[in-house]
Structure 1
Amino acid sequence: MPRVVASDVYSIEEIACRRENGVSIVVPIYKNAEVTLRCILSCLVALERMPGAQLYLINDASPEREIKALLSSFMEHQSVHVLENQSNLGFVHTVNRGVELAGNHDVILVNSDVVVSPDCFETLALDAYSNKRIATVSPFSNNATICSFPEFPVESTTFSDQPLIRLWSAFNSARLPLISAPTGVGFCLYIKRRALIEIGQLDAKNFPRGYGEENDFCQRAIAHGWMNAISANCYAHHEGSISFGSQKDQLIERAMQTLDRIYPTYHQQVAQFISADPLVHHRLLRYLQVSFQTASPIVLHVLHNLGGGVRQHVDELKDVIAKKIISFELLPLSSEACLLRIGHPNRLFSVSFPQGNFSELLLFLQLAGIDCVHFHQTSGFDASIYDLPLKLSCKSIITAHDFQAFFGTPTLTDSNGRFDNAKIETGVCSIPRAILDSSLVIFPSLSTKEIVLQKIVPSRHVTTPHPEPGRNTASDALPFKRKKSYTIAAVGALGLEKGADRLEAVAKELAPCGKFQVKLIGYAYRLLTGVTTTGPYNDADLKDIIRSEGADILLFTALWPETYSYTLSYAIDSGLPIIAPRIGAFSERTAGRPNVFLYDIDVDNDKLAALVSEAIAELEELAVIPPNEQLVVNYLPDFYVAPYLNEVGLRRRISHELDFTYISGLQVTAREVEKATFREKIFIFLWRYSHTFGVAQLLRLLPFGLKRYLKRSLTRRSVIDVRKRVG
């Protein structure tokens, strides 16, 4: 099992004195002169900190003339030995030749597609001699399976846009304990000469071409009582497999089969190492240190844990700003706990903190150097969540995804799900005045701004639509195609306030003529009579689903002033005609668009059905209906390109050392896999059976309020999100 490798010496000076051998670096070379040059130059810099070290550059009969010309330029360089195989021996034979030439030196194997840090060789040597029984040491890298950083155990692109010198600088801070592993990784591998003498060279017979040879060596080392250590004290950049090209997968498969034959438990050992993830705290600390040194602001996004449009907005916003801003996010787990997710897009680390008393969370965020807290939706959080910006002395932003924080209710609807203007007057704002005065409030629509400003006036606010990198919200309207019958489609998860009952009523009104089929692409809070329901969907598939379901016109039946509506975005992107209520974001977001039909929110259902029929008739005649409403919509354009970055800002960071003892005491997980709770499993079981005919008829007799209460007692997530967790 993986464990911390205890140091049996007490100072770097003592470790340096203990090393009885010199060090030789062996670089097998075959292809790509440009990449190889970067490797050689980095090795030469690292060599300067290793007096007496030698560099062996071995050309394995490369077919590229540029390689020979490149290597010849280093032949006169002190401490560099340029050699050439008369024929192509393969990676492992070439390494063994270098091991032999190195005499009694320890050896560092370096792939020709690796760029090492200036202190890499020195650090690996110090780590190797921190314990007598260490045979091999591997550094962290962007692309080195169990040594990968910060993603694990896969290739990482998180810091691909950062200069290597910035990563190297972060790794220069306090030394971290080594972790033993079932194998080292051969892209950059320190091997003690004493281990080579006792164990033997790499196995060129079973692994002649490369892949698997270092795993075999490390397993032999373990069998002889040695350890293989992974070091988070240095970082080497690895471009990956330039010599093997298209043969890589085949070579790996063959090597893994050989390893299984020789070491039947090897892959089990690796799987256990990955599952235990003993390096997660090391990676988190180094991630924070790299992030702290970047020129990028760090933003904490605060949101509920219920999925939906808020989740979609935060994910897409982080996509848009990923190259300029580092994103953390905070979600409630329960009334006692919250979860801090670190890293985008892969949510590299998840750290649990208590709720109510945010002192532990606050300490971590102070150490991380948060520049701005962006509040999206605070349902599920303790009221003291709004204290974070003041206690962190950082900026804050509030996005009005709904009306919960401003009026105490998300949709401003009554018990029948209809918009109730009185809710504005009686509503209570949960945002402290000090935060409203110091924050920028973002309204995603003019309608939302007008409603909030009736009672609450933030000191600063801006109106700008959500960024939508995956959709064209200015797409052209498609000409309508005349048909014998038409599919009227609604989209989304329809509750009472989203107009599920209205959709059913419209379907009933349209049914007698036999010309229309009404579909719900999504699902409703109950089974809708006369409406074909397709069920939950993934957002990424929605555009294709709208097309495959044969939708001819898209109908929105919301009874409240939606602040934005992502389903409307998909509708616009589809190019299909749209029928929507004249309330909330619908009017302004469809302003000036052809083939749009708006209706008053209080229209009777039979008249709405008549509007649908009339709209189809007009489209049959004209194919493209000119816009009949021209609103002046004054959005701030491109807000999330530059103004958002300026608003977030970058504070003057205070230099400090992150303490590994503190970090290692946190509840940290990586590769987070959300599992459904027992209650959520019950909910999905009931939901599936609720759509059978008999049960559906029975549920129709229950009051909506009771059904909503029962659903929320089991889960407050959407059906889509719960199904993803249940599987």
Structure 2
Amino acid sequence: MLPPAIDIIIPVYNAYDDLQRCLDSVLRTTMPHHRIIMIDDCSTDSRIADYFETQRSKADKRLWLLQNDTNLGFVSTVNRGMTLSQNDVVLLNSDAIVTSGWLEKLCCCADSDPLIGTITPFSNNAEICSFPNFCQDNALPQGMNAEDVNRAIEAAALRVYPDIPTGVGFCMFIRRRLLNKIGLFDADTFRHGYGEENDFCMRALAAGWRNVLCDDTFVQHVGSCSFSTKKETLVEENMQRLLAKHPDYMQRVMAFITADPIKPIRQLAQSFLALTGAAGDKPGILHIMHGRSGGTEQHTRSLMHSDGEDYRHYLLVTMDDVWQLKDANSGELLTYQFNRQPDQLWTDFLASLCASFRIHLCHVHHLAGCRPGLLEAMRNLGIPFGFSVHDFFLACPTINLLDATGIYCGSETDASRCQNCLSAQPDFRGIDIVAWRAVHADFIEQAVFVIAPSDLAAEMFRSYFPRADVRVIQHGVDLTANRVNALTSALLLPKDAYQSIGVLGAIGPVKGARQLERLVARSRERKLPFRWVVVGYMDRQFQPYQTADTLLTVHGQYTPDHMEDLLDHYRINLVVFPSAGPETYCYTLTEAWMAGRPALVPPIGALYERVQTNGAGWIMQDWCDTDAILDDIISILRPENSTDFVHKQTQARAVPVTSVRDMANATEMVYHEVLSRQVVKFAAPLPQTTLYTALQTALGVAAADKHRALSMGQHWLLRLAHLGLRLRYTLLGRWLYRIIPVRWQQILKQRLLA
């Protein structure tokens, strides 16, 4: 049984090329029992009349081709079409391009609730119904057409048909019973167009009807060609007429824009767009890490945003039962927050998430944050995974192999000694080191690759988990060529003969915070001509700070692009790393060398390996003794050693730096090798309702919060805008209009009446 017939009304005024594309799309996608009413409003382009004659000659029973005797204007032409019809109607601009199933989906939406009066689909250019960016004219994604976008929106759809304050007239379904109830468009007030559908929708709301978004349909809207020269004037005048009829219109619309309750629907469709278009053929990589910032996060994000085009990248941040998945494949960063249910298996939790986003390979960067859950999930996942060595958490829960005194243990492997060491530390008592390493050994055995950022890190890792194929890929760093001057946020130092010694990065206990405090104290006690400058922050001093005697300065947070300017400003020529534990790479050492600063480092970890290999610094004689470190600095800075110092500076500048792209290329080669010999079988994906809820949770949008109130400031600004627009052509109105922010003018005046 066929569904009820719908009349599609297409008012025509010039725009010949647009009209052809529009009608071709309608004829291609519309069933025979529907009717297409095209009305030419006395177009001045002679090709329109010829086009109508051509269509008449085809004798398509769906087409009803009419011409106004005189130019009636857009609103009266639409009203003529709606008067000729006795069915539900769809108003369709001649610059719209419809997609497969569009009319059937609009009808399904209408059937879901008899109180639905108007329906608007998603479009690239439909103001509050625009996709992917809200209230913008969006270009279609590169390499995609309207059908591609429609498939993505359809795949992501929940068919919740959310309420919207007003329909958008480029493509708007109107129920016949609503027309019978409240009448046609107000042609006397809105004449040539702009605002008539907003007025109609406000009258519909007042009569108890709903205006909704059809969230499973996409119709392309090229733009308003016919009225391009008149639009500004029409918008200005018709906004005032609309506000005169509906004083609460602006408040309703602004409340909707502020709340943006359909944002999760758009974002879910954006993720599906990356899966249904050309990008969907690319393998998906899921990077897994903890929720803490630092070098691990920097490396992971560099891999994800390295401009590679062969893979889709996602980031999963694990925090006990709450996991955040970040999707940047559609241009905008989309964040989903998933909450594991108490009875849900970890493997099912991860497998269904991977299936939803078509993940082919998991790249685990850290297990901290949800170690037991991830270990269980990986054991039976059915999707290959690899591991990157960022520290030594798998070997020891101290992470950086520190003993009870806070000093590096020397990579102790004897289980009995390690157990005694952990028992002496309150945070780690009760941990069975044998069981700890055994479960991680199983995890590493299942990993399809292991990557370390330095030879020494790989060697230390193999001493705990024997594996011959640990690959070494150095971390990549890219600093912009045009450095941004950071002096406006820098602290001042006295201009004297004191030497500034730099310590770089976020300095906690492992990075040597306690040793640094001792170095400052002993420098003061020994009256040494040193000032210590932390370009970064400390665990006990996060904000910019300076001691009264200026022997310690803490700059605070910085960006790597500022590093050389900051080192110049603080007159830092030598950088010291007072680390208590071994590094696996150290980004800040790379930053120092790129700025031409040699470094004094302890004889442990990647710091030792890199300085020894590149010759751009010195190795501490006794890295645990504060006075011995100060003596090293005194020796390095002696005038008679200046030639050696200049040589080290030259060496620092000459150290080869791996770019992010080179690092990503090497890593992607590993991915390719793995996936070329793996066949991934996806589990059942998460239901769309779960994905939608995950987006809502992360965005802070409650399911029932569809009419969030404006803040007090927004409320008064709205009233000011309202008054300014209503009095636009009075002296007071012109003054008010000028002080309304441009963004509010665009939203209120231009966008909502487009």
Pairwise CA distance, 1:333: 3.6
Alignment-derived partner of residue 235 in structure 1: 218
2:399 to 396, 410, 419: 410
Equivalent residue, structure 1, for 2:464: 455
Equivalent residue of 1:625, what SS?
Answer: helix
Q: Which amino acid aligns with 1:224?
A: A
User: How far has the Cα of 1:433 moved from its partner?
Assistant: 1.6
The 1-side partners of 2:350 and 2:341 are apart by 11
Q: Please list the CA deviations of residues 288-310 of structure 1 after superposition, one character each: whole Å capped at 9, or x if unmatched.
A: 58637821323333211122222
1:305 aligns with 2:294: no
The answer on whether the counterparts of 2:454 and 2:584 sit within 8 Å (CA) in structure 1 is yes
The residue type paired with residue 128 of structure 1 is: A
Q: Deviations over 1:244-303 (max 9, x none)?
A: 999999998998887666342654566368648367469648845863782132333321
Cα distance in structure 1, aligned partners of 2:111 and 2:70: 36
Alpha-carbon distance in 2 for matches of 1:85, 1:237: 31
Equivalent residues in 2 for 1:296-335, closer than 5 Å: 296-320=282-306, 323-334=309-320
Counterpart of 1:100 in structure 2: which amino acid?
A: R
Matches within 5 A, 1:243-642: 262-264=246-248, 266-268=250-252, 271=255, 275=259, 277=261, 280=264, 284=268, 287-288=271-272, 291=275, 294-320=280-306, 323-334=309-320, 336-342=321-327, 345-354=332-341, 357-358=345-346, 361-362=349-350, 364-365=352-353, 367-368=355-356, 369-425=358-414, 426=418, 428-429=436-437, 430-433=439-442, 435-458=444-467, 460-468=469-477, 487-506=500-519, 517-527=531-541, 530-537=551-558, 539=559, 542-543=562-563, 546=566, 549-550=569-570, 552-553=572-573, 555-557=575-577, 558-573=579-594, 575-581=595-601, 583-586=604-607, 596-600=616-620, 602-603=622-623, 604-610=628-634, 613-614=637-638, 617-618=642-643, 625-626=650-651, 638-642=665-669
Q: Which runs of 5+ in 1 are unaligned?
A: 1-12, 62-66, 474-481, 675-727
Superposed, 1:59-78 pairs within 5 Å as 76-77=54-55
Distance change >3 Å, CA 107–CA 588, structure 1 → 2:
farther
CA-CA distance at 1:404 after TM superposition = 0.8
Alpha carbons of structure 1 residues 535 and 661: separation in structure 2 relative to 1, 3 Å: closer
3-state SS, counterpart of residue 162 of structure 2? strand
Scaled by the length of structure 2, the TM-score of the pair is: 0.68
What does residue range 151-190 of structure 1 map to in structure 2 within 5 Å? 164-171=146-153, 176-190=159-173
Evaluate the alpha carbon distance shift between residue 436 and residue 661 of structure 1 in structure 2; reply closer, same or farther with a 3 A threshold.
same
1:687-702 equivalences in 2 (<5 Å): none
Give yes or no for contact 1:351–1:669 (8 Å, CA) kept in 2: no
How far, CA to CA, are the matches of 1:625 and 1:127 in structure 2? 70
**Counterpart-to-counterpart distance in 2, 1:241 and 1:516:** 69
Q: Does 1:24 align with 2:33?
A: no
Partner SS state of residue 117, structure 2: strand
In 2, are the aligned partners of 1:113 and 1:241 still within 8 Å (CA)? yes
| Structure 2: distance between partners of 1:653 and 1:466 | 32
Relative distance call for 1:395 and 1:552 in structure 2 (3 A) is: same
Matched, 1:221 2:204: yes
TM-score (norm 1): 0.70
Larger Rg: 2
Structure 2: any 5+ residue segments left out of the alignment?
419-432, 483-494, 702-754
1:178 maps to a residue whose letter is Y
Q: CA RMSD in A?
A: 5.1
Is 1:669 paired with 2:653?
no
Range with bigger deviation, 153-162 or 429-438: 153-162
- Shift in Å, 1:448: 1.5
Q: Secondary structure at the match of 2:387?
A: strand
Contact 2:158/2:689, CA 8 A, preserved across alignment: no
The residue type paired with residue 334 of structure 2 is: R
How far off is 1:360 after superposition? 5.7
Residue in structure 2 matched with residue 97 of structure 1 by the alignment: 77
